Amino acid sequence: MGKVSIVVATRNNEAIIKKCLDHIYAQKFKDFTCYVVDDGSTDQTLKIIKQEYPKTKIIECKESLGPSHNRNLALKDSSDEFFAFVDSDAFIDKCWLEKAITKMETDKTIGLIGGKVYDYHTKKIQSIGGQTHFGGTVWLEDCPLNDERAKIKEKFCHWLPSSTFMIRAHVAKDIGGFDSDYGYLYEDIDISWRVWLAGHTVLYFSALESVHMMSVTASSSYSDSKRQFMSKRNKAVTFLKNLEWITLIRFSPVFFAVLLVELIILKPKGAILMGNIDPFLNLKKILQKRKEIKKFRKIRDKEILPFFVTDHWKVIKRCIGDNYAFLPRRN
C-alpha cells in the first residue's frame, strides 16, 4: 500500500485535538505521517501536540490565513502518494485509512474519496456527500440512521466535505491544491470540482466512517457578517472559476433569482450583497484562475451537470431551514 500523509488543520482546539489525534494514531494502517498545520493558535493546542504526540510534524503559521493555505503547506512538504485531510473536530474510524487506500488502489480512476460522516451532537448522518443546485446553493446531504439513503454503499458525488477525505497526491498537485484565496468555506467544493475537471472521479464510499462535531470548526469563530460575506464570495468565485462561459450565461437568471431569495430571507443583507459583488471587483484574478484550470481541464460541463440538483423548491427550503449552513446562528 502507498504511503499517506494525514493533514489536520487546527486553530485554538485545545479541548478536542487529543481526541482527533488519538483516533488518527489508533489506525490499523500504520504507514503514515501526521501533519498538524496550525493557524496561529493562542491556546494550549501546540503544547499538547508537542508533549503528547512527538511523532507529529507541526507546521506553524504565525499569521491566520485559513485552512486552504495551510493544507497546501503540507502538500508541498510531503512526497507521499496519498493525502488524507481530517478536521481537528473530526474523528475517523480505526479502519478509515486502510479502507480508503485499498479502494483507491483498486480503482485508479478515483481522484478523491470520502465517506459517511456522523453528526457528533445529533447522532444522525451528517453527510452522505455534497449536493449542488445550479443556482449556486450547496449543502451536505444528511439523513436519519434508518433512512434508505444510509444504505447506499457508494456513489459518485459532485463534492465531498473536507472534514474527512483522501486525495491522490499527484491529482492534488496537478490541479494546484486548495485555492489559498478562499480562507474558509467552499474550499472542499472547489477542489472536488477541479478533481472532476481533471478527468478523475469523486467517490462517496460509505465504509469510510467518521464523526464530526462541526460546531467547533474554525469558521465558527467568525461573526455572522464575516461568514456570510465569505460564503457568498467563495460561492461566486467557485462557479465563476469552474463553469464554462456558456453554462454561466445559461444559469445566470437562476443565480440572480437565488440571490434575491437570499436577500429576502437571510441576514445580514449587506454582507450577502457585498460577498456576491466582490468577485466581480477582482475579475482579473478570476480570469487568471480560469486560465490555470483550462490547462488541465479534460471534461465538459455536460458531464458534471447531471450531479446538480434542479429542484428550486428544495433550495428554498434549505435556505429557510435549520440545515442551511450559513443562517445566522441561534442563541
Residue 198 carries which DSSP code? T
The reported pLDDT for the residue numbered 329 is: 38
The predicted model scores a pTM of: 0.92
Chain mean pLDDT for the chain: 91
- The answer to whether residue 221 scores a pLDDT higher than 70 is no
Q: What mean pLDDT comes out for the span 31-59? A: 95
Q: For 266-325, how does the pLDDT look when each residue is reduced to its tens digit (9 = 90+)?
A: 888 999 999 999 999 999 999 999 999 999 999 999 999 999 988 767 766 666 554 344
Residue 116's closest CA among 143, 87, 88?
Answer: 143
* CATH architecture of the domain formed by 4-220: Alpha-Beta Complex (3.90)
Q: For 113-132, how does the pLDDT look when each residue is reduced to its tens digit (9 = 90+)?
A: 999 999 999 889 999 999 99
The reported pLDDT for the residue numbered 103 is: 98
Confidence at 62, pLDDT banded by 50, 70, 90: confident
Cα separations (Å) of 66 from 185, 209, 254, 286, 292?
A: 10, 26, 30, 20, 22
- Range list of β-strands (E), the chain: 4-10, 32-38, 57-60, 82-87, 90-92, 110-119, 125-127, 130-132, 138-140, 154-156, 164-168, 201-212
More confident residue, 329 or 28: 28
- The answer to whether residue 217 scores a pLDDT higher than 60 is no
Cα separations (Å) of 252 from 85, 181, 235, 276, 287?
A: 33, 24, 14, 13, 17
Contact 36, 49 (CB under 8 A): yes
Q: For 153-180, how does the pLDDT look when each residue is reduced to its tens digit (9 = 90+)?
A: 999 999 999 999 999 999 999 999 999 9
The reported pLDDT for the residue numbered 220 is: 53
Q: Which residues pair with 211 in a beta bridge?
A: 91, 118
Between β-strands 4-10 and 82-87, what pairing exists: parallel, antiparallel or unpaired?
Answer: parallel
The reported pLDDT for the residue numbered 316 is: 66
Confidence at 328, pLDDT banded by 50, 70, 90: very low
- The answer to whether residue 60 scores a pLDDT higher than 70 is yes
Contact 175, 155 (CB under 8 A): no
Q: For 223-250, how does the pLDDT look when each residue is reduced to its tens digit (9 = 90+)?
A: 788 888 999 999 999 999 999 999 999 9
Give Cα 141 distance to the centre of its chain. Answer: 14
- The answer to whether residue 54 scores a pLDDT higher than 80 is yes
Q: What mean pLDDT comes out for the span 209-219? A: 74
Residue 169: half-sphere exposure toward Cβ, Cα within 13 Å = 18
- The answer to whether residue 330 scores a pLDDT higher than 60 is no
Q: What are the φ and ψ backbone dihedral angles of 58, each rounded to 5 degrees?
A: -105, 130
Confidence at 52, pLDDT banded by 50, 70, 90: very high
Contact 201, 245 (CB under 8 A): no
324 burial via Cβ count (<10 Å: 0-12, 13-18, 19+):
middle
Give Cα 279 distance to the centre of its chain. Answer: 20
The reported pLDDT for the residue numbered 318 is: 66
Going from N- to C-terminal start, the domains of the chain cover 4-220, 222-320
